[in-house]
C-alpha cells in the first residue's frame, strides 16, 4: 500500500484553537490476503488521517500512539475493514504496519522514519508476558508474505464466522456479547440464597422472580408460580396485603430443587411492613 498520494485539509473549530485534519488517498499496490467472499478492495482508498493542531500561531503534528500517520512517499501493510455505509477504514492502529523497502517495521511510524530494529524495540517494550505477541512484533523485518502466512493459518472465531455478513462493528458486538457468560436460572437466583443475606424490597424481589420465570420458560406450572408470586408482591407493595402463599411455596421449591440453594421463606427483606404469608 503506497500512501498517501494526496493531502486534503479540513478546518474544524475547537475551543480556542484550530485543527487541520487530512484526507489521504492510499494506492493499493498488492493484495496480501483477503478472507473468502470478502468485498473487493478498490484500487484507491481515501481515509481521514491525523493532522495538525494550530494554537497561538504554532502548528503541531498530531498522531495516535503506536501508529503511523500516513506520510507521502512511504509504504504500509494495512488491514482494512469495510463498513455498512460503504466506507473502508484501517482496522485500528495495530492494523497499519510500516513497510518501506519491503520490510515490515521499516519506514514511517508515529511521524518519524525509522528502522525495523527500532520498530522491534518499540514493540518489545510493550509485550505482556503470557499474552499473544502482536502481529507487528511477530513479523517485523520480514516481507508482507509473513503476514499472509499468519492470516492463512489462523482459525476464525466461530462466532465471528457466523456473522461475516455484518459489518465489522456489528460483528464485534456479536463476538463481544458471546464472550460474556449468559445469565442462567441459578445465577439469577443466587442473590436470593439465605447465605447471601441480600436485602430486597417487594418490587426488587418481584423483578428477580420475573427474570427467573423468563429463564424457566413461558410454559409449565413452575414458571407460572414464579410469575404469580411476582405479581402478588407488586400488588401488595407498600401495604400489609398478603402475598400469594401457594405461589410463594411453589417458587421456593422450584428454586431450591433446581439450584440446590436454600432461599428460606422467599419474602421481601427490605421493607418496614412485614408481608404476611396469608
Q: What is the mean pLDDT of residues 85-111?
A: 89
Give yes or no for residue 207 having a pLDDT over 80: yes
Rounded to the nearest 10 degrees, the angle between the axes of helix 245-259 and helix 221-236 is 130
- Give every CB contact of residue 182 below 8 A, 6+ residues apart in sequence: none
For the stretch 106-146, pLDDT in tens is 999 988 999 999 999 999 988 888 888 989 999 999 999 99
Percent of residues, the chain, with pLDDT higher than 90: 26
Alpha helix positions (H), the chain: 116-124, 135-139, 145-153, 158-162, 168-178, 185-189, 202-216, 221-236, 245-259
For the stretch 25-69, pLDDT in tens is 999 999 999 988 888 999 999 988 888 888 877 888 877 777 899
For the stretch 228-269, pLDDT in tens is 888 888 887 667 777 888 888 889 988 888 888 888 999 988
Distance spanning both ends of the chain, measured CA to CA? 76
> CA-CA distance, 251 to 255, in Å (whole number)?
6
Burial class (CB in 10 A: 0-12, 13-18, 19+), 95: middle
Give yes or no for residue 7 having a pLDDT over 50: no
DSSP designation for 85: T
Residue 113's nearest CA partner among 96, 127, 125, 100 is 100
Which residue, chain included where needed, has cell 487530512?
22
Q: What is the mean pLDDT of residues 191-196?
A: 84
Assess whether the previous peptide bond of 4 is cis (omega < 30° from 0): yes
pLDDT category at 11 given cuts 50, 70, 90 is: very low
Predicted local distance difference test score (pLDDT) of residue 222: 61
Predicted local distance difference test score (pLDDT) of residue 275: 39
pLDDT category at 213 given cuts 50, 70, 90 is: confident
Give the count of beta carbons closer than 10 Å to the beta carbon of residue 99. 26
Q: What are residue 25's phi and psi, to 5 degrees?
A: -100, 120
Give yes or no for residue 10 having a pLDDT over 50: no
Q: Residues 104, 143: contact at Cβ < 8 Å? A: yes
Q: What is the mean pLDDT of residues 157-173?
A: 84
Predicted local distance difference test score (pLDDT) of residue 180: 53
Would you state the cell numbers that stand for residue 39, as one nine-digit string? 468485498
Q: What is the mean pLDDT of residues 179-203?
A: 80
> CA-CA distance, 100 to 223, in Å (whole number)?
65
Amino acid at each position: 500500500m503506497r500512501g498517501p498520494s494526496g493531502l486534503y485539509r479540513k478546518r474544524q473549530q475547537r475551543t480556542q484553537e484550530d485543527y487541520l485534519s487530512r484526507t489521504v488517498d492510499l494506492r493499493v499496490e498488492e493484495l496480501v490476503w483477503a478472507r473468502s467472499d470478502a468485498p473487493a478492495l478498490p484500487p484507491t482508498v481515501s481515509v481521514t488521517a491525523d493532522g495538525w493542531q494550530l494554537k497561538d500561531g504554532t502548528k503541531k503534528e498530531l498522531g495516535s500512539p503506536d501508529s503511523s500517520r500516513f506520510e507521502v512517499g512511504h509504504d504500509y501493510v494495512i488491514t482494512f475493514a469495510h463498513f455498512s455505509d460503504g466506507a473502508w477504514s484501517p482496522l485500528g492502529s495495530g492494523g497499519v504496519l510500516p513497510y518501506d523497502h519491503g520490510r515490515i517495521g521499516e519506514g514511517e511510524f508515529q511521524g518519524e522514519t525509522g528502522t525495523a530494529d527500532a520498530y522491534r524495540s518499540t514493540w518489545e517494550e510493550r509485550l505482556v508476558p503470557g499474552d499473544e505477541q502482536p502481529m507487528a512484533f511477530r513479523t517485523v523485518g520480514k516481507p508482507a508474505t509473513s503476514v499472509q502466512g499468519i492470516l492463512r493459518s489462523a482459525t476464525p472465531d466461530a462466532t465471528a464466522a457466523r456473522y461475516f455478513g455484518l459489518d465489522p462493528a456489528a460483528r464485534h458486538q456479536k463476538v463481544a456479547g458471546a464472550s460474556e457468560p449468559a445469565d442462567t436460572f441459578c445465577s439469577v437466583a443466587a442473590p436470593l440464597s439465605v447465605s447471601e443475606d441480600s436485602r430486597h424490597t417487594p418490587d426488587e424481589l418481584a423483578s428477580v422472580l420475573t427474570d427467573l420465570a423468563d429463564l424457566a420458560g413461558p410454559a409449565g406450572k413452575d414458571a407460572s408460580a414464579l410469575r404469580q408470586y411476582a405479581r402478588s408482591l407488586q400488588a401488595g407493595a407498600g401495604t400489609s396485603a398478603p402475598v400469594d402463599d401457594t405461589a410463594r411455596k411453589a417458587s421456593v421449591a422450584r428454586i431450591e430443587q433446581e439450584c440446590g440453594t436454600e432461599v428460606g421463606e422467599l419474602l421481601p427483606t427490605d421493607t418496614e411492613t412485614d408481608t404476611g404469608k396469608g
